[in-house]
Structure formats: structure tokens, C-alpha cells
Structure 1
């Protein structure tokens, strides 16, 4: 391949006598060979196969190509720098307003005699298992990102055009790896500063020592996660192992979170915490964070060294491996990332989630058969049950999300006042997320109402029938969790969990029937002194079901959990059933409008 084919308009290099003119002359002398090579290159690129570079050092135009691109992209780069600078300014402003100023106020109050050390023992009890859970979740999110995107994902223009020319991939791909490292490091810095403030107020630890020890884990864990994500991006075998181990790691994270909550409640298991702290980088970060506190674990400097040294080694190895990602894979990931970003910009969150699941291989189907019912009215329930059985990941997520819901309900039983209401609301949110996993058949119907053409029922009636299987499965899961709580010594209020299921399923059905995204709400809302309220109005419309169900249920359920009386239990049950009826009526009304909105020529509200 000759150098004039590299980048149109590039000047000839000063080195050597083998210029583009000589190469063009050689191509004129052998037109048949050049045509054959061009056809072969086109076919290889069309099939997505990676070809070995057939160019020498004399054909290397990497430096000249990147210099030309920098010159051509200078106006765009200046505009992009302004956008990035504005985003950084807004982020820092939010952190200062919502984090820096309140923290400064707390320290001023502490200097004037306010005592926050009463929360210190609970914090120290929660830190070993809690930090291990957060660290393991950080690594899991990083490696899951490598399944569909990865740390090395240049824009589509770079993958489709620039890397197809004879340029060295390392100068092109390496900056994107380090950009991913910087983006991953920023949340770690924020968490380190938050840990410094929390330890300084509750444990009275020196701020420089607290920041330094917290920064060890908060900086190393995200960087290790980025390196692991690059390994998953490059290796299909590593990606397969990540898919297999994700459910088990998720269960382990929830178990660590539950153990942290039990430790706060006064039931720590010290020997198990020691095992967790030394089990890996997620535990070493906890040892480092505990080092300046009274609950320090022996070996803090060893844990810090075990974090820092492997992180440096992994970064060096990943820096070398960043340029070895195959071009077909980069093209595929760049297209997926562009599609997800476009969906997010248009506030199509479901489209973005489906794109990520499809690219990461999370939507695998299993061939499961159920006997076909003889009665026609059972066919909808048969289809819903079959679709959930063929996607067991959704059932697994529903089971996993039921655990924190029950745990938060247990914690709400032992709290008082506004804290009890807040913990009950968190329990209801987890419960909603659990039953929402079972409503995927209803969401698939509303994605394209033409899919419901097989049904003899009106579309609104069909959507109400889609709520039956989630209610039954949700009640079974909630009853199983309540039975576990009762066997562990809980009271009769544990049976409130099944009572909340119909209302939460109805709330999910309201969301499933919302129709096309009402982006006009973000621009038609009134302007207030602090800015427009459009985003809040859109969020209220987007999450209308749970936004109504959770506050309404939280008040009576919180009272029933605190009192434990039969009267309060009955009141909570009546409120839950009445709310379920109201939400189902709302979902029926929304669903009835969807077929008309999907007709050709229909114009939605603008």
C-alpha cells in the first residue's frame, strides 16, 4: 500500500527518496496488481477480518497524519474544550455546594462543641464488610463495562477511517485508555474526600491521615477495575468467565452489605470480617481506611503496598496492551457506545439499557418448554411465565433485590421517627425494583403495540392481564422472605411484604404504559429563580408509578413496622390494596391511549 493512499492531502515526507510520486509510478506500472490488491482489501474490510499490515517503516505516516488531524480538528477541539470545561465547572460547583459547604459547616459546629462521635462506633462496625462490598461492586462494574464498551473505545471516525490506514495504533489508542483511567479516578477522589470528612467528624481522626489512607483504596480500586476491563475487552475467554461469575459475585456483594448492616445492629462476626479484609483488593482498601482509626487492623502498610504495587504493574501492562485491541472489535464497540450515547441524549433509557444488554451478552435465552394450556384465557399467563423462565437472569435479579428489601424492612422496625419512614421508603424502592424485573413481557408489548395483534383482548385489558404473573411470583418471593424473617425471630409485621406486592406491580405497569418519551416536558415547564423545573417534571412523568406508590405506602407501612399492632397492619393492608386498584385504573387508562399514538400520521403532544 503506497503512502498517497494514507491520508488525502498529506505532504510528502522529507525522509528518503521513496516518495509518493515513485509509489504512484510503481502502481501505474502494475495496474492489474493494484486493482487486485484493492479488491482484496475491500473484501477483507467488508467481512470485518483483521489484516496484517503490509506496509514498511517508509510508509509510516503516523506522525504526519496525527499532526494534520490536530490542525484540521483545532476548531472542533476548542469547542469541545469549552464544553468539557463547562461540565467540569458545573460538577465542581455541585460538589462545593452540596458537599464542601455543608462539610465546612459541620466542622465549624464541631469546633463550637457539637459532638458527632456518637455515630463513630456504628461507622467503624460497618466499615469492614461495607468497604469490601463497595470495592467488589466497583470491580464488577468495571469488568462488566468491558463486556460492551471497554476502556479503549475511540470515536467511530477513528475506528472506521483513521485506523484503517497505515498508522501505528498505539499513539491513537493509548490516550483513550488513560482518559478512561482519569474518569474512573475522579469518583474515587470524591469518595476519599467524603471518607476523610466522615472519619474526621465521627472518629476525630486527623484529616491528612484520613485522606491519605482513604485515597489508597479509592484510587487503586478504580484503576485496577479499568485494567481488568481492558482484559475483558481483549479476551473472549475472560468475558465468558465474567458472564458466568456475575450472579455469584452479585450475591456475595449483597451478603457483604447484609453483614455490614447486621454489624451496625450489634451482630458483628469478627473472624469473618478479617477473612474478607484479606481476601483481595476490595478488602485491602478497607484495611487501609481503618488504619488511622481505633479499629485498625494489623498490617495496614502491607495492605497499602499490596494495593499500590499491583496497580502500578497492571497500569504498565495495560498501557502496552491498549494498542493490541483488534480493529473489528473496536468498530463494534464504537458503534455500540455511539448508539447508547444517542439513546441517553434523547432520554430513551430503555433503548440504552437494551443496547447494553445485547452487546454484553446479558440477554441470553434458554429453551424451556411449558405445556400449552387448553383454555384460551390462560394463554397470556402462559406466555408471560414462559418468557420469564427463558430469561432466568430476571428471576435471579428479582430474588436478589428482594433480600435488601426485606433487610431494610427489618431495620425500619427498630428505628423511630423520620428515619423509620426513610428506611421503609428504601425497602419499598428495592421491592419495586424486584417486581419490575418480572414485568418485562408487558414492557415488550408496549415497545411496539403491533406485537399485540395476536391477542383477542383490547390492548388495555391485555396489559392488565400482564400483571397477574408478576403479582403471583412477587407474592411468592415476598412470602418466602417473610418466612425467613419469622424463622429468625421477626414479628408478624414481616408479612407486610406480600401485601405491598400488588401496589408495586401496578406502579410498574403504570410505568410500562407511559408511551413515547415526553421530552417536551423539559422545555415547556415554568422557569423559577434557581433554574427551570423541566427536568424534575420529566422525571416525575417518567417514574410516575413508583413516585406515587412509594410515598403513599411508606407512611402506613412505617407505622405498622414500628408499632406491630394488628390495627396498623390492617390499615396498611387496606391502603396497599386501594392504591393497587387506583394504579391499575391509571395503567388501564394509559394503555388505552397507546394504540392510537402508534397509528401512522399520529402526532404526539409537542
Structure 2
């Protein structure tokens, strides 16, 4: 809803309210509800309660529909074009290859060899995916939520005596529709996978997969609305997020172990019946040879709460406070503006601040007696007071270790690719520990207390992340050795120095180089600006991960001590080169900031 349109509707409502208030009878029973109380609290005064005669909601919405008719037609064309492009991409990249696989199956190709592994990993894998969907929906409710109208609606229209439910309901159902799209795609992917590997009938596979693919996203939207409107639910969501994230990783680890031939059947049964995330797995397994007893019951347990949740959520839409809607609309607009200007860190900080993730633990460490240790004391204290970063680093280290297992058995380019994926997860884990360095580069004036040059100060910021990363990598190597891993398990701590140095390179990149988006060395051959910007934005890992993947994949394949020593030497040399690169970038940051300060 655009500003002028909402302002016009608000003016009509204001004029109508004033006219009816002048002629209304004093004995008319006022309409009670949470809306009037919320408006009184927001205005800080005792506002006159409005009656049914003051309700011009239908007229205001009719006026808006008339004013927005040309805009609505243009928006419909844009949406239709976007849907056309989406369907075309899905057909080209998904439909045509799937049809080709089924055609090869009809000509004698056999993909059933992948069936046992798929069925083994499906119980824990669907539990991990379902819990992740619900967790993402709840986290979305902490900063945005499924009911977020535009700022013009919250600032102009809803501030007047207008019933909020007719205004807010379309936004809730729009969120439901958008949430259904990935669920539908997941159901189609499950149908293709089961049809190819297990030879399940396609209609049955699609129907059973749709139970989880449709119900879980809709349940997530309802949970997001509950978190959005209820502060107590939001507090519980923040408290339970670390445990839910740990469960997602644990389910994923169990799924990988099951595929590798180490299933735990009794634990899988517990997970499948533990909640909606497991009921979706029971439904997906129903048409397969590995069906779990109680498939129809699990489907009913998913469908009935989803329908009930949608009905209750539809009624609860009107109870979201106007103050909260204004805050969420401003946050969503700020995040969108940051994304449009490619300020990804600003968008991430805005989401984190609105989600309430800025909470810090009150941890105290004795101050060091030597001045040279103050910086390391500050970095350690900063990380200890934000345990969420330490937790994310530990959780992201798990898939990094898991990806190293298939890299051990793979050969050729596949081994190099899987090793690169493991290193990428390791980089993401260590990047969580470099937040003090990123805060330092957000505003170089913060470093005015330091006796070191800015470049030297930034190099000292890698000491604490490297020490913590070595502890984490050593713990992972010991766990891998306990599970039967070979000498290649010590690659985990050896990868820490170059990956931390790559993170420092990224931390010192400075202001976003949006000019790269509009550059192209070959204008006649199409723009390469997006590739250039991506290469600048992710320069550290883009250089480090491919270079490290070559020697590390060789060690994972043969496991020789000589190869391990060569990989360690190469990693240290690469770390030194990356630190020099980071020093040069950091030295340029104060010079870039001076024009803005002036």
C-alpha cells in the first residue's frame, strides 16, 4: 500500500470519524477490544473510544481498491512474469532432468541401488529438515513475522478507527502461500527420489510427501504468528533456539551415520514420534518398504493441528499490537534497503538486533596486568559474553567433519569438491569467532585507544580465534580418531590458521564496492558485475578453499604422514600470505574513512 493511497484512505476515515462523532449519541455502547486499549497506550492520552458508527473500514478499503487499481494491474503483471520465470527455471533445471531419468529407467537404467541408503537416512533426515523448517519460521517471527504490512498501512491506515482484521488477514495468508511453495517443491523432489530409487508409485509418493511438505510450513507460519504477538512465546523461542539447533545437527549426524551403515532403529522410532518433524517422516515412509506402523495416524496428527492452527491464527491476526507492527514494518524496510544496497552485514545486524540476539552473558575475567594482553582479554571476553557465537562455531564444525568422511572414499574431482565443502563449513565455523575484528572495522575510530597501527591491531585479532579454533579442531580430530579415523583426522586443526586468515581478509574488505556491480570488461558480451562483486566480497574463502582442497583431498584419500606434513606446510604458507593480504587491506581502511569523517 503506497503512502499517498493510505493517506487518502486515512483522510476519509478521519473525516468520517469526526462527522459521526459530532452526531453520535452519548449512550451508544462503545466497541470494546484490545485495539482501543493499544491505541490509548501508544498515544499516551485518554482517546475517545470509537463506536460502530465510526467504523468506516469497508469504505476505506473500497477507496483503496479503487485508488490502487492501476498499481494492482502492474503488480499482477510483474507477479505473473516472476511466476513464469520461476516455472520455466523449475522445468528446465528440475522437470526435464527428472523426466530424462524416468525415461532412462524405462529403457533399462537401474537406480534402485541408491534406495537402501535413501531409506536408511530418511527417518533422521526428515526429522532434521522438519525441525529446521519450524525453527526458521519461529526465528522469522522474532524479527519480522508472517503479518507485516507496509509502513504506509501501519503509520496511516491502522492508526485510525479501522478494524485491523480485514487489513491484516491478506498478509497472513500471503505468508502461508509463500511458505507452501518450498514445501511443494520438496514434495515433488521426494516423489522423484522415491519413484527412481524405491520404485514407489508416483501418485502415492506425492500424496504422502505432500502431508509433510504442506503441513510443516503452515505450522511454522502459525508458530511464527504466536511468537510475533506473544512476548512470552518470543522469550521461550530465544531460550530454546540453541537446543533446537543442536537437535537439528544431531538428527543430521544420525542420518549420515545411518547412510554409512550405522543406524540406531530404536532412536529413529523415538524421533519419528517425537513431534511434527518426525510425523512428516512417517508419512513419507508410508508408501515404501521401510514403512513405519501408524502412517495414517501420523498424517492425521499433522493435518488436524495444521487446520486448527490456521483457524486460530486467522482469528488472532487482529490482536497483534500496532506498536509491534510499526516496529516490524520499519525493521523489514531497513533490511530490504540494506539488501538492495548490498550491505549484507547491515542487514544481518538489523535482523539480529530485532530478534533480540544481542543479549549478553555477564561474564567477568580478571584484567591482565600487562598492557599487551589487553586486546586478547577484550576479544576473549567479547566471545564469552556472546555464547551464541561459540555455539554456532561448534555446530558448524560438525558438518565440516562429516563432509570429510565421503571425501575419504571419493575419487577425482568429487573428492576435491566434497573436501571444499568441508572446508567451507569450517570457514563458516571459524568466522563466528572473528566478530571482534569485524566490529573493529565497522568504525575504525574505535581503534583510537590502541597504541598499534590499525593494520597491526587487526593482525592481533586473529590470536584468540586461532587458539579457540585449534581447540575445536583438536577436539574434532580426537573424536574422529575415537570413531576409527586415520591420520587424516589431524587435518581439522591444520586447517584452522589459513581459514582464520581468510576470515580476516574478509573482515578488512571495507565499505561495499557497489561500483563493481556495474562494471564489465566485455560490455557487448553481458555484464559480469555480479561475479566481480562476489569475488571481492568473498575474496578470502574464494581463494583459500580451492587452494586448500587440493592437498587436503589428497591426504584424505591416501592418509600418509608425508602428505599430512606437506599439507601442514602449505597451509602455514597460505596463512602467511593471507595475513599479509589482510594487513594491506587493513592499512587502507583508515584512509578510506577520512573523507567520510570530514
- Shorter-normalised TM range: over 0.9
Q: Which residue of 2 aligns with 1:330?
A: 325
Query: Does the Cα contact within 8 Å between 2:125 and 2:255 map onto a contact in 1?
Result: yes
Query: Does the Cα contact within 8 Å between 1:470 and 1:505 map onto a contact in 2?
Result: yes
Find out whether 1:541 has 2:544 as its counterpart: no
After superposition, where does 1:390-401 map in structure 2 within 5 Å?
A: 390-401=385-396
Q: Which residue of 2 aligns with 1:357?
A: 352
Q: 90-99 or 430-439: which moved more?
A: 90-99
C-alpha distance in structure 2 between counterparts of 1:113 and 1:556, whole Å? 40
Query: Does the Cα contact within 8 Å between 2:13 and 2:60 map onto a contact in 1?
Result: yes
After superposition, where does 1:179-258 map in structure 2 within 5 Å?
A: 179-258=174-253
Q: Which residue of 1 aligns with 2:576?
A: 581
Decide which of 355, 366, 371 is 2:366's aligned counterpart: 371
**How much does 1:560 deviate?**
0.2
Q: Which residue of 2 aligns with 1:309?
A: 304
Decide which of 468, 473, 480 is 1:473's aligned counterpart: 468
Helix, strand or coil at the partner of 2:10: coil
Judged with a 3 Å threshold, the aligned counterparts in structure 2 of structure 1 residues 26 and 259 are, in CA distance, closer, same or farther, namely closer
After superposition, where does 1:99-498 map in structure 2 within 5 Å?
A: 99-498=94-493
C-alpha distance in structure 1 between counterparts of 2:45 and 2:119, whole Å? 53
**How much does 1:295 deviate?**
1.0
Decide which of 11, 31, 34 is 1:8's aligned counterpart: 11
Judged with a 3 Å threshold, the aligned counterparts in structure 2 of structure 1 residues 164 and 373 are, in CA distance, closer, same or farther, namely same
**How much does 1:371 deviate?**
1.9
Q: Which residue of 2 aligns with 1:35?
A: none
C-alpha distance in structure 2 between counterparts of 1:527 and 1:302, whole Å? 60
**How much does 1:51 deviate?**
7.7
For residues 568-595 of structure 1, what are the alpha-carbon distances to aligned partners after superposition, in whole Å with 9 as ceiling and x for unaligned? 1112111211111111111111111111
C-alpha distance in structure 1 between counterparts of 2:479 and 2:21, whole Å? 78
Helix, strand or coil at the partner of 1:424: helix
Judged with a 3 Å threshold, the aligned counterparts in structure 2 of structure 1 residues 569 and 384 are, in CA distance, closer, same or farther, namely same
C-alpha distance in structure 1 between counterparts of 2:15 and 2:320, whole Å? 30
Q: Which residue of 1 aligns with 2:3?
A: none
After superposition, where does 1:66-105 map in structure 2 within 5 Å?
A: 66-105=61-100
Query: Does the Cα contact within 8 Å between 1:151 and 1:180 map onto a contact in 2?
Result: yes
C-alpha distance in structure 1 between counterparts of 2:85 and 2:9, whole Å? 41
**How much does 1:382 deviate?**
1.3
Judged with a 3 Å threshold, the aligned counterparts in structure 2 of structure 1 residues 491 and 189 are, in CA distance, closer, same or farther, namely same
C-alpha distance in structure 1 between counterparts of 2:222 and 2:526, whole Å? 40
C-alpha distance in structure 1 between counterparts of 2:496 and 2:319, whole Å? 50
Helix, strand or coil at the partner of 2:11: coil
Judged with a 3 Å threshold, the aligned counterparts in structure 2 of structure 1 residues 268 and 62 are, in CA distance, closer, same or farther, namely same
Unaligned stretches of 5+ residues in structure 1: 14-18, 28-40
**How much does 1:73 deviate?**
2.0
C-alpha distance in structure 1 between counterparts of 2:48 and 2:168, whole Å? 17
For residues 18-58 of structure 1, what are the alpha-carbon distances to aligned partners after superposition, in whole Å with 9 as ceiling and x for unaligned? x965755799xxxxxxxxxxxxx9x9779566988711111
Q: 74-83 or 144-153: which moved more?
A: 74-83
C-alpha distance in structure 1 between counterparts of 2:9 and 2:75, whole Å? 26
Judged with a 3 Å threshold, the aligned counterparts in structure 2 of structure 1 residues 22 and 133 are, in CA distance, closer, same or farther, namely closer
For residues 390-431 of structure 1, what are the alpha-carbon distances to aligned partners after superposition, in whole Å with 9 as ceiling and x for unaligned? 111111111111122122223322333333222211211111
Query: Does the Cα contact within 8 Å between 2:229 and 2:320 map onto a contact in 1?
Result: yes
C-alpha distance in structure 2 between counterparts of 1:377 and 1:406, whole Å? 35
Find out whether 1:516 has 2:511 as its counterpart: yes
Helix, strand or coil at the partner of 1:8: helix
**How much does 1:236 deviate?**
0.9
Decide which of 56, 63, 70 is 1:61's aligned counterpart: 56
Judged with a 3 Å threshold, the aligned counterparts in structure 2 of structure 1 residues 471 and 5 are, in CA distance, closer, same or farther, namely closer
Helix, strand or coil at the partner of 1:147: helix
For residues 333-376 of structure 1, what are the alpha-carbon distances to aligned partners after superposition, in whole Å with 9 as ceiling and x for unaligned? 11111111111111111111111111111111222222222222
C-alpha distance in structure 2 between counterparts of 1:102 and 1:514, whole Å? 40
Helix, strand or coil at the partner of 2:514: coil
Helix, strand or coil at the partner of 1:598: helix
**How much does 1:437 deviate?**
0.4
Q: Which residue of 2 aligns with 1:553?
A: 548
Decide which of 571, 574, 594 is 2:566's aligned counterpart: 571
Q: 201-210 or 264-273: which moved more?
A: 201-210
C-alpha distance in structure 2 between counterparts of 1:188 and 1:255, whole Å? 23
Q: 302-311 or 104-113: which moved more?
A: 104-113
C-alpha distance in structure 1 between counterparts of 2:321 and 2:14, whole Å? 29
Query: Does the Cα contact within 8 Å between 1:136 and 1:253 map onto a contact in 2?
Result: yes
C-alpha distance in structure 1 between counterparts of 2:232 and 2:397, whole Å? 32
C-alpha distance in structure 2 between counterparts of 1:461 and 1:500, whole Å? 23
Query: Does the Cα contact within 8 Å between 2:400 and 2:423 map onto a contact in 1?
Result: yes
Unaligned stretches of 5+ residues in structure 2: 1-6, 26-35
Q: Which residue of 2 aligns with 1:36?
A: none
Task: State the aligned residue count.
Answer: 583
**How much does 1:327 deviate?**
0.8
Judged with a 3 Å threshold, the aligned counterparts in structure 2 of structure 1 residues 289 and 51 are, in CA distance, closer, same or farther, namely farther
**How much does 1:564 deviate?**
0.7
C-alpha distance in structure 2 between counterparts of 1:324 and 1:531, whole Å? 50
C-alpha distance in structure 2 between counterparts of 1:530 and 1:301, whole Å? 56
Question: What is the TM-score normalised by the length of structure 1?
Answer: 0.92
**How much does 1:79 deviate?**
2.8
Query: Does the Cα contact within 8 Å between 1:6 and 1:61 map onto a contact in 2?
Result: no
Query: Does the Cα contact within 8 Å between 1:125 and 1:263 map onto a contact in 2?
Result: yes
